[in-house]
Amino acid sequence: MGNIVLSYEYRGEINFDQILDEIEYGSTFALYTDREDVIPIRGKERLWVELSHSTDDTFIIEIQDEFFEKEYFWEKLQTVFLYNFLDFAEIRIKDIDVSNSEIFHLDSDSFIEKEFFLDWPVPGTIFKPYYHLSLLQKIEISKKFVSMGGCLIKEDETYMVSKERILAEAGVLQESFGTNGYYVPNITCHLNDYFFLEQLFKLGIKIVMVNFLMTGLRSIYEFKKKFQNIKVWGHRIGYIPLQKNIDMQYLAKIAVLAGVDLLHIGTPKSKKEQNEKVQLVRAAQKFKPSFRPVFTKTTPEMNSILLKKFGKDIITMTCGYIREPNEGEIDWIKVGDWINSLKNNF
């Protein structure tokens, strides 16, 4: 039987025996006006979890596979090994290693789909103003963007509309791209409605965007089991209030394990950030070789940096750079400059 390894950093004092006993046996609490006492329920031995390493500010634990069941892995992982820990210590989960786990031994292959992107960095943008564009305006933008070399346009993570409206627009918009690009609807609200999704995919949709911190990873996993040939574009909205306790490398790995194919990881500016993101992408691609990071808010300057650090297997999105500074209208000359900053390097 294999195991899963979790890495943490912490501040202050921590009672490792207390938090490890909590996993298998639980604790009880007594509250007074001046303190809270933790009274452990101890057993003879811990069967599934052990502390493998610790320093003054880090620790690593190993959990036997048999402690988990695949069908509720994500809920148990997050509940037991993150949120419940916060009752006992000031911690931040840094990383997860499933290389020795039999739970995920075959999953990386089962979620690899045939690539259908360009063989150079994928250029994309976003429909804005999101609630005030007519379908005709969206079609005009799509056709112009694709004619200039753009590959995809997605809806905003906050753009949530009825299933009827998505179906009414999706097929028409995808048709406006022809075979050269992709329309990416936001289906966060409808991820579990498989009848609706089957209708959507019949319209030619190949990529769907999901706010996965809103839907939960279980829903992503179940979706990918049923629709393996559809790319899941994972948006990490909701991460900022969580980053105090969750490192992006850990979040990216569990998202990819659940079935996310394309993921916002934050566009790095400093060399330190860039090196950290390179490590993150490499780690995610070990699980899923077809994984692609999404970089947003890019400019020609940022494109040059990203291409040097990450190569061609990225999705780069622009929004503000291609807009006029006063009215916010699309400046198509700047669109051309931005796309050429990608094309000219490949």
Q: Tell me if domain 3-105 and domain 109-343 are identical in fold.
A: no
- Residue at 26: amino acid letter: G
For the domain covering 109-343, report its CATH number.
Answer: 3.20.20.110
For 73-97, the pLDDT digits (tens) are 999 999 999 999 998 899 999 999 9
* DSSP code for 67: G
pTM above threshold 0.95: no
Spatial CB neighbours of 345, under 8 Å, sequence gap ≥ 6: 120, 303, 304, 307
pLDDT at 237: 95
The total of other beta-carbon atoms located within 10 Å of residue 32's CB is 7
First to last CA, the chain: 46
**Please, which pLDDT band fits residue 109 given cuts at 50, 70 and 90?**
very low
Contact between residue 133 and residue 330 where contact means Cβ atoms under 8 Å apart: no
- Residue at 300: amino acid letter: P
**Please, which pLDDT band fits residue 154 given cuts at 50, 70 and 90?**
very high
**Please, which pLDDT band fits residue 108 given cuts at 50, 70 and 90?**
very low
Contact between residue 103 and residue 4 where contact means Cβ atoms under 8 Å apart: yes
Residue 30: pLDDT over 90:
yes
Specify which residues 316 forms β-bridges with: 123, 295
> How is domain 3-105 classified at the CATH fold level?
Alpha-Beta Plaits (3.30.70)
For 162-214, the pLDDT digits (tens) are 999 999 999 999 999 988 899 999 999 999 999 999 999 999 999 999 999 99
Q: What is the mean pLDDT of residues 231-256?
A: 96
pLDDT at 111: 39
- Mean per-residue pLDDT over the chain, rounded: 92
pLDDT at 211: 98
| Domains in the chain: boundaries | 3-105, 109-343
For 268-324, the pLDDT digits (tens) are 999 999 999 999 999 999 888 889 999 999 999 999 999 999 998 999 999 999 999
3-state helix, strand, coil in the chain (%, to 5): 40, 20, 40
Element (H, E) at 74: helix 73-78
Residue (of 237, 286, 295, 316) closest to 111 by Cα position: 286
**Please, which pLDDT band fits residue 62 given cuts at 50, 70 and 90?**
very high
CA distance 262 to 150: 17
